[in-house]
Amino acid sequence: MRITEWFDNLPLPGPVKDIIFVVVVVGGISLLSQLLLGLWTPMVAVESGSMVPNLNIGDIVVVQGASRTDVIPWEEAEKTGYDAFNNPGDVILYRPYGKASFNLLDQLKMLIGFAPSKEKATPIIHRALRYVEAGDPMWEGGPAAPFSGYITKGDHNEVIDQMAGQIFGSANLSYIDAHRDELMAVGSDVYLDKNVGLIIYKTANGTFVGEGISFLTPVKEEWVIGVARARVPLVGYIRLLPNIIIDEIRKLVS
């Protein structure tokens, strides 16, 4: 007896069979993607224009897990002629400051108006320009990298991610000691305040408070989710449409 015939003959209501079928199909696709690409969910929708024209809002990007490939930054790619999405170097998907990604429950809460957790963030998809070691300048004449990692940039952006941010002011060292439970160590002398989402930097010139997607910090290798390998134009709007509708409703209400 074929599996399909056996399944059809199960003494279960039709809707229950449909649910089981969907779960099996989705689970099978996820398992296959994990085996081939190293990720359970290898497709992401582009939400911003920072990579235009090479990746556009609404594109679906297929990502290969970082454990299954090496990242080739722009500096290395230029030497070999390697291109990805019309420019030298790999486009990587990474977790800014190592923050966890939003899960389905987080997304549902945000849709109904709850503020997102400061400990989580939407992954960034930008190009890896070069790899710097701890202590190397992050750009020519720039500050030393607090730890090793990639310097990144959106193809459409004017500046690298490590320059895209701002410093609000200084912080006393006593604040760090008194609020250890509210701080997440991002790297050597860099902390994330989990309550307000700001970053605290300890440098030779003092302790500063700032914000950005990767301001003054390289992207650690362990923060890289994967490397973009292909794109499907416009299909991602199916994923983005609920957020767009909710944003428009909020604008009308306000």
Phi-psi region of 89 (alpha: psi -120 to 50; beta: other; left: phi over 0): left
Q: What is the pTM of this model?
A: 0.80
Judge whether 59 and 45 are in contact, CB under 8 Å: yes
In this prediction, residue 203 carries a pLDDT of 85
Cα(first)–Cα(last) distance of the chain, in Å?
Answer: 61
Per the structure block, which two tokens stand in for 252?
Answer: 């009308």
Q: Tell me, what's the pLDDT at 132?
A: 97
Are the CB atoms for 127 and 92 separated by under 8 Å? yes
pLDDT tens over the chain, length 254 residues: 465 555 456 565 656 545 554 444 444 444 444 444 444 466 788 989 999 999 999 888 989 988 888 999 999 999 999 999 999 999 999 999 999 887 767 767 766 667 778 888 889 999 999 999 999 999 999 999 999 999 999 999 999 999 999 999 988 888 888 888 899 999 888 999 988 899 999 888 889 999 999 999 999 999 999 999 999 887 766 666 656 555 555 566 66
Name the token pair of 228.
């973009």
Residue 209's Cβ-side half-sphere holds a number of Cα atoms within 13 Å equal to 13
**Distance separating alpha carbons of residues 154 and 92, to the nearest angstrom:** 10
Token pair, residue 99, equals 């923050």
Three-state SS string over the chain comes to CCHHHHHHCCCCCHHHHHHHHHHHHHHHHHHHHHHHHCCCCCEEECCCCCCCCCCCCCCEEEEEEHHHCCCCCHHHHHHHCCEECCEECCEEEECHHHCECCCHHHHHHHHCCCCCCCCECCCEEEEEEEEECCCCECCCCCCECCCCEEEEECCCCCCCHHHCEEEEEECCHHHHHHCHHHEEEEECCEEEECCCCCEEEEECCEEEEEEECCCCCCECHHHEEEEEEEEECCCCHHHHHHHHHHHHHHHHHC
pLDDT of amino acid 27: 46
Residue 222 confidence (pLDDT): 95
The β-bridge relationship of strands 190-193 and 183-187 is antiparallel
Q: In this structure, which amino acid lies at residue 152?
A: T
pLDDT at position 176 is: 84
pLDDT of res. 137 = 96
Q: What is the pLDDT of residue 246?
A: 56
